[in-house]
Structure 1
Amino acid sequence: MIKTAATLALLAAPALATTQDDVLAAQLRPGYQMENGGYMAAVELQLAPGWKTYWRSPGDAGIPPSFDWSGSQNVKSVRIHWPAPEVFEANGMQTIGYHERLVLPVEITPEDPSRPVRLSVVMALGVCDEICLPATVDLTSDLTAPGAPDPSIKAALQARAETAGEAGVTSVACQVDPITDGLRVTARVRLPDPGRPEVVAFETADRQVWVSEAITQRQGGELVSMAELVPPNGAPFALDRSGITLTILAAGGAVEVKGCPAAP
């Protein structure tokens, strides 16, 4: 309820002088065909100076993006490769996202690699500066083989979060405790200290579960982070630990930890 109220308050701010076209431009970068027959394309968003948009898990006051690929032709699946996002602090609220420009790589697996691919997406998102606007972009592009190298897409792929192994994570465990309206999860991750403030974003396999802003601190060689999970029915529930993703953000870099087993 708090998240919904905060978002509605932002959307209700006076925005009569500002429209989507004033602050947002978007295109599909057609990219190139990969050795496996799939394609690497990208959604590119250009935002006006000072404006930002949000990551897949945007924080309490953010607006998560959604994607509808159903208008595509000869597309079996689409996988999004998220560049490491930034953490924004404003008015006592923490959000996670990107400012001014986002190139979001999308990996396409065709139904039939020998046939042309037409990629179509309707993306709903929020864009914010001192006010927030709901936005929708409708993009279509034909993907042709072999395409051409795209430095912007390659740079965005290189900006992805490190895996746990790449980042030197040696252990991870979660303690799960019931609370009145859901669960409290406390994660302990052993990994090198970057020497900079760290923010942890918790995600679950069920996107309907509300996740609070995490409280995070260092305890010796461990990063300890706690968040509350509240499902739509507001009651404790069975948590799929394998579906938990922890993303640890520190000064433009990120580490993605998948799964959070119980402590041995």
Structure 2
Amino acid sequence: MRYLNIVALGAVIGLAAGLPAKASSSAWYKSEGGKVRLVTSGKPDEAGQIHGVLDIALKPGWKTYWRDPGDAGVPPQIDISASTNIADARLSFPPPQRHDDGYGKWSGYDRPVSLPVTFTLSAPDQPATIDANVFLGICETICIPVQTRLSLDPASDPDNATDTALVKTALATLPSPARADFGIHVLPGDHETLVVEARSPGDPDSVDFFIAGERDYMFGAPVRSQKDGKLVFTVPILDRPSATPTDGGLYYTLTSAEGSVDGLLPFP
């Protein structure tokens, strides 16, 4: 996917001032390829978290990225440092699709998508306002970085049924936790490849494997094969940290005609 030259970003990145909240959602920010907004379900849950979505309404023919966009894309990002009583915002991602536009292979969405966001309150019993800087790439034949400030007050309409339904629907699209019969098993590889066996109910031809490069890892497109009757994905490791991390792991999603699951892999 081709990107506009970095020197031209000032001409194509729109920075919208925070606008008064409508209900529990922000105003839409409109760009060339679509529009974006933040929506919340209003009330925090018992864990002191407010659930919401980054709502991306793409125009026909436009696309946006998954959490790992490949070597030339921009994953959706959200910065809540200007917010009040918000300690953290975590984006979650529905299962992506694989795309090849002739310039590169990448993972993302070619239709409108709502990315769940979990906002964690610093003090659950205190009011909170969300003032978020959002950055993402939307693409047709050329990708356009979109940056905007989205503001809202979740308590302004905490019982808004439409907003709550949108958030609930988006959460239902997320992958389920991996399990024994639907997930992956890491096989021996080497310093330059990650090799996994994929286990999934249903048609194996429908299965795809997505791995997110983080902590200075970068991966190429997975290559699928059959080995001893098992479905195997071999993933090139294009870049890696100088020292292998000892905490956490790498996020993956496994998709099939039967649904999708996700989990963490040990660092290769």
What range describes the TM-score normalised by the shorter chain of this pair?
Answer: 0.7 to 0.9
- Match of 1:191? 200
| Structure showing the higher strand proportion among its residues | 1
Aligned AA for 2:239?
P
Maintained 8 Å contact 2:209/2:222:
yes
Aligned-partner Cα distance in 1 for 2:262–2:245: 19
Cα offset for 1:221?
Answer: 5.3
Q: 1:122 aligns with which of 129, 133, 146?
A: 133
Deviates more, 1:118-127 or 1:57-66: 57-66
Counterparts of residues 71-110 of structure 1 (less than 5 Å): 71-91=82-102, 93-110=104-121
Residues 129 and 219 from structure 1, CA distance in 2 versus in 1: closer, same or farther, beyond 3 angstroms?
Answer: same
1:256 aligns with 2:262: yes
Aligned-partner Cα distance in 2 for 1:202–1:118: 34
What is the DSSP-based 3-state SS (H/G/I as helix, E as strand, rest coil) of the residue aligned with 2:145?
strand
Q: 1:212 aligns with which of 220, 226, 251?
A: 220
- Match of 2:17? none
What is the DSSP-based 3-state SS (H/G/I as helix, E as strand, rest coil) of the residue aligned with 2:98?
strand
Cα offset for 1:259?
Answer: 2.4
Identity, % of aligned positions? 25
Aligned-partner Cα distance in 1 for 2:56–2:209: 25
Task: Structure 2: give runs of 5+ residues left out of the alignment.
Answer: 15-29
Residues 188 and 127 from structure 1, CA distance in 2 versus in 1: closer, same or farther, beyond 3 angstroms?
Answer: same
- Match of 1:164? 178
Maintained 8 Å contact 1:187/1:226:
yes
Counterparts of residues 8-157 of structure 1 (less than 5 Å): 9-12=2-5, 21-33=31-43, 34-91=45-102, 93-144=104-155, 146-149=158-161, 150-157=164-171
Q: TM-score, normalised by structure 2?
A: 0.78
Aligned AA for 1:39?
I
Cα offset for 1:74?
Answer: 0.2
Aligned-partner Cα distance in 2 for 1:133–1:35: 39
Maintained 8 Å contact 2:203/2:257:
no
Aligned AA for 1:148?
N
Residues 200 and 106 from structure 1, CA distance in 2 versus in 1: closer, same or farther, beyond 3 angstroms?
Answer: same
Q: 1:174 aligns with which of 184, 187, 190?
A: 187
Aligned AA for 2:217?
V
Cα offset for 1:224?
Answer: 1.0
Q: TM-score, normalised by structure 1?
A: 0.79
Residues 163 and 210 from structure 1, CA distance in 2 versus in 1: closer, same or farther, beyond 3 angstroms?
Answer: same
What is the DSSP-based 3-state SS (H/G/I as helix, E as strand, rest coil) of the residue aligned with 2:84?
coil
Residues 147 and 223 from structure 1, CA distance in 2 versus in 1: closer, same or farther, beyond 3 angstroms?
Answer: farther
Maintained 8 Å contact 2:80/2:88:
no
Residues 77 and 188 from structure 1, CA distance in 2 versus in 1: closer, same or farther, beyond 3 angstroms?
Answer: same
What is the DSSP-based 3-state SS (H/G/I as helix, E as strand, rest coil) of the residue aligned with 1:172?
strand
Aligned AA for 2:121?
P
Residues 229 and 26 from structure 1, CA distance in 2 versus in 1: closer, same or farther, beyond 3 angstroms?
Answer: same
Task: Structure 1: give runs of 5+ residues left out of the alignment.
Answer: 1-6
Aligned-partner Cα distance in 2 for 1:122–1:36: 24
What is the DSSP-based 3-state SS (H/G/I as helix, E as strand, rest coil) of the residue aligned with 1:117?
coil
